[in-house]
Amino acid sequence: MSVLRLEQVTCRFDGLVALDNVELSVEAGEIVGLIGPNGAGKTTLVNVVTGAVRGEGPIWFNDKRIDGKRPYQVARLGIARTYQTVQPFPEMSALENVMAAVVFAAGANGIKEAESQAADALSFVGLGDVRHMRASELTLAGRKRLELAKSLAMKPKVLLLDEVNAGLNPAEIDEALALIRRIAEQGVTIIIIEHLMKVVMSLCGRIVVLHHGAKIAEGTPAEISQDERVIDAYLGARYARARAQEAGSNE
Ligand SMILES: Nc1ncnc2c1ncn2[C@@H]1O[C@H](COP(=O)(O)OP(=O)(O)OP(=O)(O)O)[C@@H](O)[C@H]1O
């Protein structure tokens, strides 16, 4: 049974259709990539699933309908997200930032428990040693990890990652990839919005492509990289040629 399912979900902003009858079904344990050109509706999909923006059409989390729920209710059911632009409370420590996320997702279970959950999440992402540092003093890679720790501390079953690798250098991206794989190994189902094709191709078992709010393709990385509509709308001919050359040189 799918853990998350969107049934013909539409989202309009005045005259603009940001999501157009999108069908999506994600199985437990999958890492699904969500790609498409700027403005395709990827972040809107995350916003609609997590209750930040109201759409039309049923969204199921296991056997529960979650469309219409508020963000904290969705978070408490077990769906966490990261934000494209990381915005920690700059003057608070990394630990305090994650504790705030724990309280948002779990309610007030006591400050000690929130602290211990937050410390575990920070260790998991490799920020255990700098947990008392102010968020504003962390590097971009550190703030991205902090963002991950905030969502992980909510103990999610489904995690929606919105461009967690943007702005990172190649070494930092490799580390982030390893971290995302470790999160998936914990049994967390992941949907990742990502512009770096190297990341999507190596991480995701399945890729969903949005264009002008509509799903134009869905398949394995190999299928998607050869799909004419995806090449036209997003990947471009140069990418397809490079892939074909790679395939040729591997023969
Ligand atoms: N709150 C909003 N109010 C009005 N229009 C919005 C709102 N949020 C998104 N949009 C519009 O909806 C469309 C889809 O935007 P969205 O941010 O979901 O795209 P995206 O695929 O995530 O793009 P990017 O890759 O640039 O982040 C865009 O035209 C955007 O301007």
Is 47 a pocket residue for ligand 1 (Cβ < 6 Å)?
Answer: no
Final residue belonging to a domain, choices 105, 122, 155: 155
Whether residues 72 and 93 share a domain: the answer is no
Angle, helix 94-106 to helix 140-152, in steps of 10 degrees: 30
- Domain presence at residue 250: no
Mean pLDDT, contiguous 10-residue spans, the chain (251 residues): 95 96 96 95 97 97 96 93 86 95 77 91 97 96 94 93 92 93 96 92 96 97 92 81 70 57
Whether residues 54 and 169 share a domain: the answer is yes
Q: Determine how many CB atoms are found less than 10 A away from the CB of residue 78.
A: 18
**Domain encompassing residue 202:** 1-78+157-221
The three-class DSSP label of residue 137 is helix
- Domain presence at residue 12: yes
Q: Which atom of ligand 1 has the smallest separation from the CA of 213? A: 14
The CB-side HSE value for 37 (13 A sphere, CA atoms) comes to 13
pLDDT at 103: 85
CA of 104 relative to ligand 1 center, distance in Å: 25
Instruction: Name beta bridge partners: 190.
Output: 31, 159
Running DSSP on this structure, what letter comes out for residue 40?
A: S
Whether residues 71 and 9 share a domain: the answer is yes
Whether residues 52 and 67 share a domain: the answer is yes
Radius of gyration of the chain from Cα atoms? 18
pLDDT at 88: 87
pLDDT at 172: 93
Q: How far is CA 35 from CA 164, 214, 235, in A?
A: 13, 12, 10
Question: What backbone phi and psi angles, to 5 degrees, belong to 58?
Answer: -70, 140
- Domain presence at residue 240: no
Count how many domains the chain has. Answer: 2
ipTM of this predicted complex? 0.97
Is 44 a pocket residue for ligand 1 (Cβ < 6 Å)?
Answer: yes
Separation of alpha carbons 45 and 216, rounded Å: 15
Is 40 a pocket residue for ligand 1 (Cβ < 6 Å)?
Answer: yes
- Domain presence at residue 241: no
- Domain presence at residue 230: no
pLDDT at 236: 85
